[in-house]
Amino acid sequence: MATQSLPRENAISELSQFLGERLTTSDAVRDQHANGECGVYEPQPPDAVVFPRSTEEVAEIVRVCALHGVPMVPYGVGTSVEGNVTAPHGGICIDLGEMNNILRVGEADLDVTVEAGVTRKQLNQHLKDTGLFFPIDPGADATLGGMAATRASGTNAVRYGTLRENVLGLTVVLPDGKIIKTGGRARKSAAGYDLTRLMVGSEGTLGVITEVTLRLYGIPEAISAAMCSFPTLEGAVNTVMLTIQSGIPVARMELLDDVQMAACMSYSKLDYAPDNTILFEFHGTERSVEEQARQVGEIAAEFGGSDFRWTGTTEERNALWQSRHDVLYACFALKPGCMVWATDVCVPISRLAECLLETKREIDENGLLAPIVGHAGDGNFHVGFLLEPGNEEELAKAKSVNDHMIARALEMGGTCTGEHGIGIGKIGYMEAEHGDAVEVMRMIKRSMDPQNLMNPGKVLVL
Amino acid sequence: MATQSLPRENAISELSQFLGERLTTSDAVRDQHANGECGVYEPQPPDAVVFPRSTEEVAEIVRVCALHGVPMVPYGVGTSVEGNVTAPHGGICIDLGEMNNILRVGEADLDVTVEAGVTRKQLNQHLKDTGLFFPIDPGADATLGGMAATRASGTNAVRYGTLRENVLGLTVVLPDGKIIKTGGRARKSAAGYDLTRLMVGSEGTLGVITEVTLRLYGIPEAISAAMCSFPTLEGAVNTVMLTIQSGIPVARMELLDDVQMAACMSYSKLDYAPDNTILFEFHGTERSVEEQARQVGEIAAEFGGSDFRWTGTTEERNALWQSRHDVLYACFALKPGCMVWATDVCVPISRLAECLLETKREIDENGLLAPIVGHAGDGNFHVGFLLEPGNEEELAKAKSVNDHMIARALEMGGTCTGEHGIGIGKIGYMEAEHGDAVEVMRMIKRSMDPQNLMNPGKVLVL
């Protein structure tokens, strides 16, 4: 390490000169930036953490690191779960949290430009008097830069799409410190390669996203929620499938299996039955919301859904969705002292029941505790393995169930991750999913980041 | 040429051996493949045209061309308008017209996989008994491979998005002849770089698209159309702007200025008034269609729109849309013997009136005949300059108006092309629009196509 550490020390000393106290090498801060929210991946702290306040400062940081050959890890608030922000090669963690200005709200164009460190809740709070909102909601109050980098989605994606569909343009600091703007403010363009979409989902391996221009939507005239419980998981999944196939534009359609529902009800102190459950939300005019709910209610009844019940008040609706968002904490509460390993796959909707039921069967066979929650309308579901720290046998079983689930999803034409990203956790599945296309990804990575300094060790094995 | 032609002759002879009569060097066929639909660009024929019937054959063609260093130009049906398929360096035109099989219809997943040479009308004809349709409609009956390559959109994009949003995955033959698959069948994925979106809009400069997996939609329960005429172009554009800003989910909202409307009515022998006109189409349930039309009618009235009139029957609606689709032919008829130079820009919707009116003023000042038609709901409009062949002064004036229009669009945060692509016609505007980001596009091009053989001379000046 002694010979390797010299360039790092030089870089840190150079960066300190212009960042002052906004560079730190304190253990506490480094440890805080050593991992996202998944305890299964080993925390790997960076050598230093910097807190830039502008794109130009990020560019200067990147230039200094590039000059000294020091790795960089862009960081939002650390809510990712696939080891996306660990620093396996050390280096400089670029924490964008102080770049949290909302730069421009385009009310007339339904768009907004924010710095990368703005969180989605902060944005919606800021927008609250405009009648507009940003719908994409991955649960955690992630930064919009991080959400763009991970191609995040979440509960509303079935209606509004993912970050892929909702980023209009980006400001990016390239691995050599050059600043580029991708995309623009027009709703569509046929002008050259789609660098915006290339950066979205690249997890900081091709550059640092510093500004994001996003689509906004008018707050619907009417929003209503409903829930429905099912005697079998199959009935619940079939309801989701037929709803999508019928083209009903539900805004949210979240599936909780009985284990997850019990955990959530207990944690949130709500008294709905701990059965396989779907939570729905409908957006539209009064009329269309009513129409959608009626259609979905009929489908649910067909599959044994009972107790299709409206959550009338805003408070009741918010309590229900808060409970859904708290699944991670509900999991911790279900098995005190446990680690939660959250993994996700996404399959064509017609294969969802098969994929989900087979996975659940394997979880049960292995005697694991692993609630399932899904953005089922997209064919995307999460398994949260609740693991006893240090229990290698349990971890091995969970890994095997995860492996099989991913193989199953890929065999069905699906993907090894619907929304968590590759990070380090899914890196071993890239070839199985993409075959020779991985080599094209490598070509792009090598041409844009020839020193392999941007978030090295993530997404691609080079 | 003599020294250069040897590798070409070798390549042609090698290709002939396995393609037989599906390779031709006849002047007639070469001339037919020398340009798309815009007469302003000089036709530049390839040395030979090949008609592969499978991805494997395309791969073999590409391998032979790569070996001999011979340029390749992928070709659909030649409906592009920015010189996208000319062969400025000669070489082999790969006509995908015989790859026209619909490989799989996923009724339960609302998706379909087609060979690149399938046209959008062929697809919708094939789907007609399934209750599903593919909505993207650029007017011309283009191939779906060509539409993907150009990131096409058209009249329905305001509701359904462009090819960017509607391609789930691709099969691509890379410049070295390797076959890759990008994307998949899941609705979303966070697994690595978005190669699908990188290929969509790359105009054949990064590889040959041979198969396309597309999203489909249920045919709406109700479809209705309406039209409305306006005393001023401004009133019409303001109606579009407010409709979008109000979040009304119109499926189509096409703007025709008075010149274009007069041309269309005359060509199509319809008797609607030759005023600035908007054609609307609404998709949804009976109720929602009614609701949308009522809301839009109120907005139109606010801006002086008169005669908001329903086109009750399917026949009437089809006649109206056919007339809209025939704008190019209507233009030819308006000035017999003319060339039509169709150019397009796209701006944030709030700037549409300004951009459009200023452009129209300049057209008039220069004494040019140039109807305007717009996918106005996206902020996208087309100017069709009707030019006398050989009239250099007129052409120079049109070029100047086009230059100014593009500069105006870029200054407003827009793009130099909303849907026609770059080809050779817009290549000079790439730096103005993208700045240093063009260098990233070049890096990608160079790393994927180091010999610069894939549609050379298009999109990027290397």
Q: Could you tell me the CATH number of the domain that includes residue A354?
A: 3.30.70.2740
Q: What is the DSSP letter of B47?
A: S
Closest approach of B398 to chain A, Cα-based (Å): 21
pTM above 0.90, yes or no: yes
Nearest-5° Cα angle at B457, B437 to B86:
135
pLDDT of residue B231: 93
CA distance B317 to B310: 9
Residue with tokens 């996700």: A344
Q: Are residues B323 and B377 in the same domain?
A: no
| Rounded Cα distance, A208 and A455, in Å | 10
Alpha-carbon distance of B313 to B283, in angstroms, equals: 15
How many Cα atoms occupy the beta-carbon half-sphere of B298 within 13 Å? 7
A23 vs A323: CA distance, rounded Å: 38
3-state secondary structure of A16: helix
Evaluated on CA atoms A346, A348, A349, A353, the torsion sign reads negative
Nearest CA in chain A to B215: A348
Could you tell me the two tokens for A382? 């999460």
A420 touches chain B (CB under 8 A): yes
Residue A203 counted as domain residue: yes
Interface touch A189/B161, C-beta < 8 Å: no
Mark yes or no for CB contact A187/B111 under 8 Å. Answer: no
Contact list in B for residue A153 (CB cut-off 8 A) is 188, 190
Q: What pLDDT is attached to residue B2?
A: 45
DSSP characters over A99-159: ---EEEEEGGGTEEEEETT-BHHHHHHHHTTTTEE-----SS--BHHHHHHHT---TTHHH
* CATH number of the structural domain spanning residue A192: 3.30.465.10
Binary contact (B186, A348; C-beta < 8 A)? yes
Is A434 within 8 Å of chain B by CB?
Answer: yes
Instruction: Say which DSSP state A192 is in.
Output: S
Rounded CA separation A413/B109 (Å): 11
Does an H or E element contain B179, and which?
A: strand B179-183
> Is there a domain that residue A438 lies in?
no
Question: Are the C-beta atoms of residues B386 and B340 closer than 8 Å to each other?
Answer: yes
Contact (Cβ atoms closer than 8 angstroms) between residue B281 and residue B251? yes
Q: Which among A75, A97, A119 is the end of a domain?
A: A97
Question: Are A110 and A203 in a shared domain?
Answer: yes
- Nearest CA-CA partner of A334 in A273, A282, A402, A261: A261
Residue type, A10: N
As to burial, measured by CB atoms within 10 angstroms (0-12 exposed, 13-18 middle, 19+ buried), residue A426 is: buried
B263 and B345 fall within a common domain: no
A425: chain B residues, CB-CB within 8 Å: none
CB contact under 8 A, B192 and A162: no
Say if residue A124 is in the same domain as residue A193: yes
User: What CATH code is carried by the domain that includes residue A305?
Assistant: 3.30.70.3450
Q: Tell me whether residues B186 and A418 touch, CB distance under 8 A.
A: yes
Cα distance between residue A371 and residue A272, in whole Å:
17
Question: Which residues on B lie below 8 Å from A432 (Cβ)?
Answer: none
First to last CA, chain B: 22
Closest CA relative to residue B46, chosen from B404, B453, B451, B398: B453
β-bridge partners, B75: B95
Q: How many CB pairs under 8 A join A and B?
A: 281
Chain A residue with minimum CA distance to B425 = A191
Q: Provide the shortest C-alpha distance from residue B5 to chain A (in Å).
A: 31
What CATH code is carried by the domain that includes residue B89?
3.30.43.10
pLDDT computed for residue A2 by the predictor: 45
A322 touches chain B (CB under 8 A): no
Q: How does the average pLDDT of chain A come out, rounded?
A: 94
Give the closest of A378, A439, A460 to B187, CB-based: A378
So what's the pLDDT on residue A368? 97
Distance from CA of A348 to the nearest CA of B (A): 5
Interface predicted TM-score (ipTM) of this complex, two decimals: 0.96
Cβ atoms of A376 and A416 closer than 8 Å: no
Q: Is residue A41 part of a domain?
A: yes
Q: Please, what is the Cα angle at B384 between B380 and B385, to 5 degrees?
A: 135
Q: Do A125 and A82 belong together in one domain?
A: no
Contact B186 A380 (CB under 8 A): yes
Residues 204-243 of A with CB under 8 A from B: 206, 217-218, 241
pLDDT at residue B1, rounded to an integer: 43
Residue A437 is assigned to a structural domain of this protein: no
Dihedral pair phi/psi, residue B5, rounded to 5°: -75, -15
Q: Is A441 in contact with B192 (Cβ distance < 8 A)?
A: yes
Number of domains in chain A: 4
Residues of chain A contacting B152 with CB distance shorter than 8 Å: 190
> In chain B, which stretches have pLDDT less than 70?
1-5, 307, 311-312
Task: Decide if A409 contacts B190 (C-beta within 8 A).
Answer: no
Assess contact for B267 and B317: CB atoms under 8 A. no
Note whether A181 contacts B446, CB cutoff 8 Å. no
With respect to residue A330, please indicate whether it lies within any of the assigned structural domains.
no
Of B162, B192, B218, the last residue of a domain is B218
The verdict on B307 touching A (C-beta cutoff 8 Å) is no
A318, A339: one domain: no
The radius of gyration of chain A from alpha carbons, rounded to an integer in Å, stands at: 22
3-class DSSP state for residue B333? helix
> What residues in A contact B413, CB-CB < 8 Å?
184-186
- How far B60 CA sits from the closest chain A CA (Å)? 17
- Does residue B403 share a domain with residue B342? yes
B113–chain A Cβ distance below 8 A for any pair:
no
Point out which residues pair with A108 in neighbouring strands. none
Question: Which residues 52-91 of B have a C-beta within 8 angstroms of A?
Answer: none
pLDDT tens, chain A, 462 aa long: 444 558 899 999 999 999 999 999 999 999 999 999 988 899 999 999 999 999 999 999 999 999 999 999 999 999 999 999 999 999 999 999 999 999 999 999 999 999 999 999 999 999 999 999 999 999 899 999 999 999 999 999 999 999 999 999 999 999 999 999 999 999 999 999 999 999 999 999 999 999 999 999 999 989 888 999 999 999 999 999 999 988 899 999 999 999 999 999 999 998 888 999 999 999 988 888 988 999 999 999 999 998 677 766 778 888 888 888 888 889 989 999 999 999 999 999 999 999 999 999 999 999 999 999 999 999 999 999 999 999 999 999 999 999 999 999 999 999 999 999 999 999 999 999 999 999 999 999 999 999 999 999 999 999
CA gyration radius for chain B? 22
Distance, in Å, from the CA atom of A116 to the CA atom of A110, rounded to the nearest integer, reads 19
The pLDDT assigned to B5 comes to: 56
Is the same domain home to B253 and B191? Answer: no
Residue A405, min C-alpha distance to chain B (Å): 15
What DSSP line would sit under A239-302, residue for residue?
HHHHHHHTT---SEEEEE-HHHHHHHHHHHT--S-SSEEEEEEEEE-HHHHHHHHHHHHHHHHH
Domain of A235 in residue numbering reads as 222-325
B84 shares its domain with B127: no
Among A190, A218, A246, residue at a domain's last position: A218
Chain A residues with CB inside 8 Å of B154's CB? none
Q: Tell me which residue has tokens 């000669």.
A: B90
- What are the φ and ψ backbone dihedral angles of B192, each rounded to 5 degrees? 90, -170
Nearest to B184 among A189, A413, A439 (CB): A413
Q: Are both A202 and A282 inside the same structural domain?
A: no
Supply the pLDDT for residue A394. Answer: 97
Question: Which residues in chain B (259-298) have CB-CB distances under 8 A to chain A?
Answer: 284-285, 287-288, 291
Q: Are residues B116 and B40 in the same domain?
A: no
Per-residue model confidence (pLDDT) at position A5: 56
* Assigned domain for A119 exists: yes
Same domain (yes/no): A123, A209: yes
Contact A383, A403 (CB under 8 A): no
The nearest CA of chain A is from the CA of B124 a distance in Å of 18
Residue A340 structure tokens: 């939660």
Nearest CA in chain B to A174: B440
Assigned domain for A444 exists: no
